[in-house]
Structure 1
Amino acid sequence: MTADIFDALADELTDAATLARLHTRLAADADGAGVLDVAYRTVDTPVGPLLLAATPAGLVRVAFDIEDHSAVLAGLAVRISPRILRAPQRLDTAVRQLDEYFAKRRTTFDVPVDLRLTQGFRRSVVERLRAIGYGERASYAAVATAVGSPKAVRAVGSACAHNPLPVVIPCHRVVRSDGTPGQYVGGAAAKAALLRLEAA
């Protein structure tokens, strides 16, 4: 009986290893053939697991666990392409840079980004967020003024909430005029943690 259990376990481990190898080969072949439109992986961070997704053009989505990674992937399938596959290699550079950021060895990200998920005013705001330096904070009102719409404070808040690349494009650095953090796509605790990380 014990031998049967060990045999079954060995078969299961062999099957898991075989499936992992086949998946890796499938991802590499799909990428090489140009039919992998969105590659994704997850990475554990001090603010919880993050889903990273990239097109051939660059990083297209960073999502907190609170956003429901399965729902985010379903949305990417609709908005970009159903040709989505877990293919960690495409995201190795982004993962390395995130690791360096959380270890306080990196203050800016220089991975290629694909901003197709944001347009119009929201895109103007997202692009402006990149100018807010590490450890700095800007008010929603200041960002509204910087993008040429000083009365659009609430719209700036909405644009930050819909930033497709939080952490990498630092919407966490935008706070209320009274200095309080305000809302955040990853939740209040994640925003506070990111601000503390950069202030230390």
Structure 2
Amino acid sequence: MAAPIDALGVAVDDGGICRIRFGGVPPNQAVSAPDEVMARAADELARYFAGEDVPFTVPLSVTGGSEFERAVWRQLYAIPYAEMRTYGQIAAAVGEPDAARAVGTACNRNPIPVIIPCHRVVGADGKLVGFGGGLWRKKLLLELEAKVRIEREFGLG
């Protein structure tokens, strides 16, 4: 699907969305998808990119990753729209306070970016560091969410 951050390849398996890839269709992924899940994902992602604070409800199918990575991805999924956390905060939340670097690795391996919002994780000093899709995409996603939040909070939208 088209998006302001480049094309997104969205893959679906029997459990739901299993992969999102920046730049197009994920390789080696199923091409026949349950129409209702793909349509719902396309609708929710389109609304998100149009500037809506979308509560993603499309089912996700996260089957890979280590136990630690899955714990990190659950924490990422829980970060509210237009808010940020540091790698250290996520590490502490999963019970591994000294594992900020490992959190960064888990973010890089996130199979469903945007919906599992790894772009909302920043360095300890608030700087934009590390993003598998490129820092320019992370910046655009955070700017989109910040704009929507400001408009909502100040009644400008």
TM-score w.r.t. the length of structure 2 is 0.88
Q: More helix per residue: 1 or 2?
A: 1
1:128-170 deviation per Cα after TM superposition (whole angstroms, max 9, x unaligned): 1111100100000000000000000100000000000000010
Structure 1 residue 118, shift from structure 2 partner: 2.2
Please list the CA deviations of residues 14-40 of structure 1 after superposition, one character each: whole Å capped at 9, or x if unmatched.
xxxxxxxxxxxxxxxxxxxxxxxxxxx
The RMSD of aligned alpha carbons is: 1.5
Paired residues of 1:128 and 1:147 also in contact (CA < 8 A): yes
For 1:177 and 1:87, locate their aligned partners in 2 and report how far apart those are by CA, in whole Å. Answer: 40
Task: Tell me how far 1:50 sits from its aligned partner.
Answer: 0.3
The answer to whether the 8 A contact 1:97-1:106 is kept is no
Question: How far apart are the structure 2 equivalents of 1:54 and 1:87?
Answer: 6
1:1-200 alignment runs, 5 A limit? 43-65=1-23, 69=25, 72-74=26-28, 76=29, 84-87=30-33, 89=35, 90-200=37-147
Per mean C-alpha deviation after superposition, the further-off stretch among 156-165 and 100-109 is 100-109
1-structure distance, mates of 2:42, 2:52: 13
Amino acid across the alignment from 1:113 = L
Distance apart, 1:108 and its partner CA: 2.2
Any unmatched runs of 5+ in structure 2?
148-157
Once the two structures are superposed, residues 31-53 of structure 1 have per-residue CA deviations (whole angstroms, 9 ceiling, x without a partner) of: xxxxxxxxxxxx00000000000
Identity %, equivalent residues: 40
The alignment's TM-score, normalised by the length of structure 1, stands at: 0.69
DSSP-derived class of the 1:192 partner: helix
Following superposition, which runs of at least 4 residues in structure 1 exceed 6 angstroms of deviation?
A: none
Larger Rg: 1
My pick for the range that moved more, 174-183 or 84-93, is: 84-93
Equivalents in 1 of 2:31, 2:82: separation in Å?
Answer: 35
**Aligned partners of 1:195 and 1:131: how far apart in 2?**
16
Unmatched tracts of structure 1, length 5 or more: 1-42, 77-83
Question: In structure 1, how many angstroms separate the alpha carbons of the residues matched to 2:136 and 2:55?
Answer: 22
